[in-house]
Structure 1
Amino acid sequence: MPRVLLVAQETGGVGKSTVTRGLAEAVPDAPILEIESVHRLTEFKAATAANEPGSVQHFLMRASREAIDASGGKAARAEFDDVINALFEVATPTLVDIGANTSASLLGVLTHEAPALREAGIELGLVVVVAAEAGALADGGALLHAAKDWAGARFVVANAVRGAVDPALLKRVAGDAVVTHLRQFELEDRTREVLAAGQLRGVSRLDRAGLVKQTSQAQAGRMLRDLTAFRLAVMEAVKPAALWLVEEAPVPARAGTPAGGSKRARNA
């Protein structure tokens, strides 16, 4: 029973794509479905087929106002069809990166589609990324609530990119979801440029000698330490969700088969 982990936030700029990249580092063979108006995960190879390990399928969102008006609203109703069809094709642990201003709409559709996906043997989980501002916390709480009836597991990553997240508000928003934290990193401008060029995937491939040619011994060493620490911090923040994604999901019991006993029955 493959699992699908949705990474969502309605508010932009809170580090959602960073969290997706951390999950991809933790589960490098996981295919990624990117639902965005702009293709951001460009460091991954483009998928040539469904379920291709370590690749990205980009689904352009959203339906334009012109397309909606020209179709009498039908374009808006159908804009997630390709995404839903792709979810039904999932055969391995899969990540879904949902763009800002799209998360609430897609989760609304999944409220209706989740039972059929589960019947098809696909279990959904949700990671919501929140930051310090009230809007991101409110949006995060709404997304968690929308998924409470169908998500097999729910996780919250509190990203301090815009300052510390208020613990009391975070507890109220997260409810029974698993909460992890990503501390704020103050990276130098040159270090940010290197990170932007290769993203998390490029950090482990950095060569000190190459950095020395561009900077100096001292700065190269500092950049490597800072970027390595950042990568590890992101991966630590996503660890509970990554473990859930690759954990073998229970197979629903069939009539006459005790719950939890179906695997033993297959191995008998």
Structure 2
Amino acid sequence: MARILLVGQETGGIGKSTVVRGLAEAVPDAQILEIESVHRLTEFKTGKANEPGRVRHFEMRATREAIEASGGKAARAELDDVINALHMVKAASLVDIGANTSASLLGILKEEASTLREAGIELGLVVVVAAEAGALAEGSKLLHVAKDWAGARFVVANAVRGAVDPVLLKRVAGDAAVTHLRHFDLEEKTREVLAAGQLRGIAKLDRASLTKETSPALAGRILRDLTAFRLAVMEAVKPAALWLVEG
């Protein structure tokens, strides 16, 4: 049975793409469907026309207001290509669902999941949450929608905006598996290096080259901080990655 792991959250800017990148590193053979208004996973080869590539990008409207303005039928039809692509999956795959799109897609999958399962495709869900109440509330809704049809559900509590209240987190997650990603206070230059290569570039960093660009001391800090960051992300996605490959 082929497994598809959906990664979603309606609230933007809480580290969902970081989680997707961690899963992509943990399961390097997994294909990626990116449902975003802007193509973000640019470090991976993108398939165009009939050319093979690891990422297939589906462009969505940027805001919830824009989606609603298009009308119900138009908004639903916008996801037809995504649903068709899910039906064609033959191996482990990741789906990066952009902000303002998760609720719409999961609502459709509530009806499609049984047909996909009959075709040998099992769905799992990763919801990324952060400290703010809005992200927790949206995460709770997504987990509830998927409760009856997701083969497994996971929550990554990202402390990027502060520690997530454990009582609220337990209430939101329910019986979903929970992992934590601690907050990293990275220096500006470290963030620049991370942005240039993302997670997959961290393992390829060369201290000698960094030293030429910065200084011996700063190069050492950049390497230590980014190595620790990458390890933390990989630990946070480990349970979901194992579920995906065990399929």
Q: Cα offset for 1:63?
A: 8.5
User: How far apart, in 2, do the equivalents of 1:109 and 1:50 lie?
Assistant: 27
- The aligned length equals 246
What stretches of structure 1 move > 4 A for 4+ residues in a row?
Answer: 48-53, 63-70
Matches within 5 A, 1:179-218: 179-218=178-217
The TM-score, its normalising length taken from structure 1, stands at 0.87
Cα gap change, 1:220/1:130 in structure 2, threshold over 3 Å: closer, same or farther? Answer: same
Cα gap change, 1:75/1:226 in structure 2, threshold over 3 Å: closer, same or farther? Answer: same
Matches within 5 A, 1:235-254: 235-248=234-247
User: How far apart, in 2, do the equivalents of 1:6 and 1:50 lie?
Assistant: 24
1:51/1:90 contact within 8 Å kept: no
The TM-score, its normalising length taken from structure 2, stands at 0.95
Q: Cα offset for 1:77?
A: 2.5
Q: Deviations over 1:98-144 (max 9, x none)?
A: 00111001000000111100011000000000000000000000000
Cα gap change, 1:245/1:215 in structure 2, threshold over 3 Å: closer, same or farther? Answer: same
* SS across alignment from 2:162: coil
* SS across alignment from 1:91: coil
Q: Cα offset for 1:218?
A: 1.1
User: How far apart, in 1, do the equivalents of 2:91 and 2:50 lie?
Assistant: 10
Larger Rg: 1
Amino acid at match of 2:109: L
Q: Deviations over 1:230-255 (max 9, x none)?
A: 0010000000000000003xxxxxxx
Matches within 5 A, 1:52-131: 55-62=54-61, 73-131=72-130
User: How far apart, in 2, do the equivalents of 1:38 and 1:149 lie?
Assistant: 31
% identical equivalent positions = 78
Q: Which runs of 5+ in 1 are unaligned?
A: 249-268
User: How far apart, in 2, do the equivalents of 1:51 and 1:28 lie?
Assistant: 19
Cα gap change, 1:19/1:50 in structure 2, threshold over 3 Å: closer, same or farther? Answer: farther
Q: Which runs of 5+ in 2 are unaligned?
A: none
Q: Deviations over 1:16-75 (max 9, x none)?
A: 00000000010011110000111111111002479957x1100001289789878x7532
Amino acid at match of 1:244: W
